[in-house]
């Protein structure tokens, strides 16, 4: 199976994030989403992870299934939270045996039902998980980046230094979603000043639901610009108009990022396909991917 670092070295990538289904209804919806996304020239698909068991096995099963059946390369999320080092070794070994070699290493948030004493995990920081994966096998390991700084960081400078340390060990990064291209460009300037030049793929999330975007932004430490927020409020009771506006905003941001020379675009789909398909088509991505 191809490693994502190799895909990045060969040209532009277009990728998406999905999460494993928890119910039969969600499973049926995911199947429809996968079918719709199959028409796109996706470079890779990242699959989220519930450390406490809510989606733990589902993540593994979905990643392995996509590896065997889907045209895009799957990448498994893995977190330090709520795990002993031995458990993480076991999970990584299983992936290696299944031929899965792309991992997104995260600190993660401890689930409410985490075992006592393991809420934060035996490994404390994502960089330790990067090092563990690299010590076990030929994994291609990604890490998360926050253009506006991690919400738990002391300040932006320390956040950048921490990210630089992770990226020196990892192969590439994917950002949390953001709304201003300047935030991404400042992130890249800061990393270059720290002598780090690994690829950083910008993540974007089309606004299709007002409540969801504010909730996700608060969790990710993403600022919703005042003008954007005003426009979202105008469409609060007009879902189709909000959806069209959200796709327009995401397309415009992606166009600016492509013009700035980013290595790829990563879309947070919220397990919905149509907005991603429209953004892909708006950007004429079929002529860009892999080049």
Catalytic positions? 17
Report the alpha-carbon distance of residue 216 to residue 213 in Å, rounded: 5
CA distances to 19, 75, 106, 159, 178 from 121, rounded to whole Å, are 22, 21, 11, 21, 28
Report the alpha-carbon distance of residue 91 to residue 235 in Å, rounded: 44
Please give the backbone phi and psi of residue 106, each rounded to the nearest 5 degrees, phi first. Answer: -130, 150
């Amino acid at each position: 199976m191809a490693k994502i670092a190799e895909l990045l070295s060969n040209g532009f990538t277009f990728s998406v994030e999905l999460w494993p289904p928890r119910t039969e209804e969600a499973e049926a919806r995911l199947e429809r989403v996968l079918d719709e996304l199959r028409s796109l020239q996706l470079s890779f698909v990242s699959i989220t992870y519930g450390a406490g068991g809510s989606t733990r096995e589902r993540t593994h099963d979905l990643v392995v299934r996509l590896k065997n059946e889907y045209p895009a390369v799957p990448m498994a999320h893995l977190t330090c939270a709520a795990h002993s080092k031995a458990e993480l070794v076991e999970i990584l070994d299983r992936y290696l045996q299944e031929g899965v070699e792309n991992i997104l290493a995260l600190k993660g948030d401890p689930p409410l039902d985490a075992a006592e004493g393991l809420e934060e995990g035996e490994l404390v920081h994502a960089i330790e998980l990067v090092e563990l994966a690299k010590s076990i096998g030929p994994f291609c390991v990604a890490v998360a980046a926050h253009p506006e700084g991690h919400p738990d960081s002391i300040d932006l400078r320390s956040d950048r230094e921490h990210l630089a340390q992770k990226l020196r060990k990892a192969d590439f990064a994917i950002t949390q979603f953001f709304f201003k291209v300047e935030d991404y460009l400042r992130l890249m300037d800061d990393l270059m000043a720290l002598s780090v030049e690994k690829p950083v793929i910008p993540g974007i999330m089309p606004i299709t639901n007002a409540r969801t975007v504010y909730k996700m932004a608060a969790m990710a430490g993403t600022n919703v610009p005042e003008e954007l927020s005003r426009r979202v409020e105008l469409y609060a009771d007009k879902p189709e108009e909000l959806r069209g506006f959200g796709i327009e905003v995401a397309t415009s941001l992606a166009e600016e990022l492509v013009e700035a020379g980013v290595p790829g675009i990563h879309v947070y789909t919220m397990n919905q396909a149509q907005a991603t398909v429209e953004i892909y088509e708006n950007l004429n991505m079929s002529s860009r991917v892999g080049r």
